[in-house]
Amino acid sequence: AHLGRFAEAEPIMRQPLATTVRRVGPDSVEVATSKGPLAGILEHLGQIEAAEALFREARNTLQQLPGDHPSKVSNSCSLGHLL
């Protein structure tokens, strides 16, 4: 369950993502897995193109993980649901 306050949640989700990018770089798996929740918020806000871009950026990074890694599967499901 959630409160549905997605506009309030967006900056809260962006801040730790930016911190993680500064700490480990933009192409890390940690950053990629942080993009999914923000993309979900953007989807709820009707920012579909921005959400799709984040899911696809994350997907590109997550391709380096082996096999059917749970993060790869989750990202693919989220992107597929959005489309």
- pLDDT, tens digit (0-9, with 9 covering 90-100), for 5-36: 999 999 999 999 999 999 999 999 999 999 99
pLDDT averaged over the chain?
A: 93
Burial of 5 (0-12, 13-18, 19+ CB in 10 A): exposed
* 31, amino acid identity: V
Who has greater pLDDT, 68 or 48? 48
Are the C-beta atoms of 10 and 38 separated by less than 8 Å? yes
3-state SS class at 11: helix
CB 56 within 8 A of CB 80: no
